[in-house]
Amino acid sequence: MGAVVRGDVEWGSIPGLVRSAAERYADTEAVVDGRTRISYAELGARVERSTAACLATGIAPGDRVAIWAPNSLDWIVAALGAVSAGAVLVPINTRFKGAEAADVLRRSGARLLFVTGTFLGTSYVASLRRAVDRGPGLPGLDQVVVLSDDAPEDFRTWKDFLAGGEGVGPAEVRARSAAVDGSWPSDIVFTSGTTGRPKGAVITHAQTLRAYEIWCDLAGLRQGDRYLIVNPFFHTFGYKAGVLACLMRGATMVPQPVFNIDTALANIAAERVSVLPGPPTLHQSLLDHPARDTHDLSALRLVVTGAAVVPLRLVERLRGELGVETVLTAYGLSEASGIVTMCRRGDDPTVIASTSGRAIPGTEVRVGARVGEPGEVLVRGFNVMRGYYEDEAATAEVLTEDGWLRTGDVGVLDTDGNLRITDRIKDMFIVGGFNAYPAEIEQLLGLHPDVADVAVIGVPDARLGEVGKAYVVRRPGATLTADDLMAWSRREMANYKVPRAVDFVGELPRNASGKVVKGKLRG
């Protein structure tokens, strides 16, 4: 077996990866976006045009360029063009309101912003304007490009922006992208903010390439795969395990801007989709869809999911009912390039369902003092961020002097090194002196045949200090009551873990990354 070529060595930088993909997979279909279909050679040419436009706009290496838009071909071209010009990409959460987006733009010092026109009935341009008018303004933002054919007078359209680069020659574009070094920051990913104010994790080109070369190897992504990217591009899972992974392997990207199960089913069947990463809720809704059998899903072969709760039944159903050959779970966070542990192909289904796999090559994971003892998950290795952008105090809180990242997650390691995430430190509650971890209780409740989705929080209790309260989504047609579920729970788990209250809801509040926003449940 030959030596494995590390991704950061092979490509050097993300623009190096884009050039390599354009040459190596020239005639392979790169992106399918609605009626638009382009090859890798065409994608490379479009990215060069986007890079030229960034140069014409005066973007210099190290400048921050933000993008606030849903998954699309234009997002891919705009982002890769900016990164190829040496800029640091700042992806903004599409669920953010104008004031939240303005805060990220202000704190990152972005000079250029790519923004969608109207998405989900909201004008992002109008929303941003209102926030800027009310707030301290955005003095560092030189230009806003609207990714559509019309834009307000002081903004530019995407077409006009690209036309502005026509005076920049190919040699100049190539020289700039070739000068991008692997040690340079490639992006600043702002955390989702479910537990406080978002902070920007700074990740380099080399870290990104090495991490997602490993992801591709462990997942078994290959040329000819067709990948439905439902995970938002503003999130590491969508951009890096999606767009960049496809560039590495010559897989075809099918971006989907909003998670809609009917659209996903239609895309999987029409485009012969073989790869479908996403949160467990995506796969659950796919399996439970009443019209599932009317769609041909036979091309699906690879599912990668990740969350504290992945029911074993979900893994078994994906394999048994849909014939998915590979189902893997993984764990990551923005501060560690989005990937820390991952299952391996061939792992037992119980390992895949009950753990997030083992540390990826080149990294270490440490939990508690002894095997099997819960504690904070610590990570050290090439994947750990340089720090939070211009926030030394927050960086010092999470990075130890000897290079360990404090994740804020509670977990348990088994004797084989498999990690099971039991909770966020901040979500843990104490019932009569016992530590109760919501994610563990959610995993147990998820085993009930009538429970489709569940979230648990701690609520005050006069006698015990705190007790669990469960928010439950029933399976279609189920008549489960609160008393039924609590009686079942008393048989299945320690008494202190049993929820003392159950609310049935139509759906749980989730952010665009698929995480339950527990702040909304707490009211």
pLDDT for the residue numbered 313: 87
* Angle in degrees, 0-180, between the axes of helices 170-179 and 14-24, rounded to the nearest 10: 120
* pLDDT score at 251: 98
CB burial string 50-64: b at 16+ within 10 A, e below? bbbbbbbbebeeebb
DSSP 308: S
Q: Which stretch of DSSP H or E encloses residue 303?
A: strand 302-305
| 292 and 166 inside one domain | no
Q: Which helix (H) or strand (E) holds 406?
A: strand 405-413
Indicate the residue type of 214: I
φ/ψ of residue 210, rounded to 5: -65, -40
Which residue positions in the chain have pLDDT lower than 70? 1-6, 192-197, 307-309, 433, 512-513
Q: In this predicted structure, what is the pLDDT of residue 196?
A: 54
Rounded distance between C-alpha atoms, residue 95 and residue 521, angstroms: 18
The CATH number given to whatever domain includes residue 271 is 3.40.50.12780
- Residue 24: inside a domain: no
Say whether both 179 and 321 belong to one domain.
Answer: no
3-state secondary structure 78-103: HHHHHHHCCCEEEECCCCCCHHHHHH
Verify that 437 and 507 share a domain, yes or no: yes
The answer as to whether 217 is a domain residue is: no
Q: What is the pLDDT of residue 495?
A: 82
**pLDDT at 194 (0 to 100):** 46
Residues 6 or more apart in contact with residue 346 via CB below 8 angstroms? none
Indicate if 458 and 407 belong to the same structural domain. Answer: no
Do residues 435 and 393 share a domain?
Answer: no
Q: 139 and 85 in one domain?
A: yes
Give the pLDDT confidence score for residue 348 in this predicted structure.
93
**CA separation for the pair 87, 53 (Å, rounded):** 13
CB contact at 8 A, 76 and 253: yes
**Residue among 176, 162, 145, 158 at smallest CA distance from 15:** 176
Helix (H) / strand (E) element for 174: namely helix 170-179
- For residue 14, which amino acid is it? I
Residue with structure tokens 């026509």? 166
CB 53 within 8 A of CB 165: yes
Closest of 201, 207, 198 to residue 189, by C-alpha: 201
Global pTM value: 0.85
Domain span including residue 462: 428-522
Residue 72 in tokens? 């699309």
Same domain, 270 and 293: yes
- Count Cβ neighbours within 10 Å for each residue of 436-452 and write b for 16 or more, e otherwise: bbbbbbbbbbbebebbb
CA 374 from chain center: how many Å? 26
Q: State the sign of the Cα–Cα–Cα–Cα dihedral 364, 369, 371, 375.
A: negative
Q: Tell whether 247 is covered by a domain.
A: no
Q: Please give the Cα distance from 97 to 75 (Å, whole number).
A: 19
Asked, for residue 23, whether it belongs to a domain, the answer is no
Whether 510 is in a domain gets the answer yes
For residues 162 and 107, membership in a common domain is answered with yes
Looking at the fold, whether 409 and 453 belong to one and the same domain comes out as no
If one counts the domains in the chain, the total is 3
According to DSSP H, which parts of 12-118 are helical?
A: 14-24, 40-56, 73-84, 98-108
Please state the three-class secondary structure of 190-255 as a single string: ECCCCCCCCCEEEEEHHHHHHHHHHHHHHHCCCCCCEEEECCCCCCHHHHHHHHHHHHHHCCEEEE
Look up residue 144 and give its two tokens: 């806003």
The CATH number for 512's domain is 3.30.300.30
CA distance 157 to 39: 24
Is residue 373 domain-shared with residue 403, that is, in the same domain?
A: yes
**Of 424, 448, 467, the domain-final residue:** 424
Write the single-letter amino acid at 119: F
CA-to-CA distance for 112 and 158, rounded, in angstroms? 12
Instruction: Identify whether the C-beta of residue 89 lies closer than 8 Å to the C-beta of residue 204.
Output: no
Domain harbouring 75, CATH code: 3.40.50.980
Q: Domain end: 164, 189, 214, which one?
A: 189
| 219: in domain | no
Buried b or exposed e, range 157-167, using 16+ CB within 10 angstroms: bbeebbebbee
Within 360-451, residue ranges assigned H as helices are: 392-398, 438-445
Among 189, 211, 232, residue at a domain's last position? 189
418 and 306, same domain (yes or no): yes
The pLDDT tens digits of the residues spanning 150-181 come to 888 889 999 999 999 999 999 999 999 999 99
Residue 20 in any domain: the answer is no
Regarding whether 163 and 71 lie in a shared domain, the answer is yes
Residue 253 is assigned to a structural domain of this protein: no
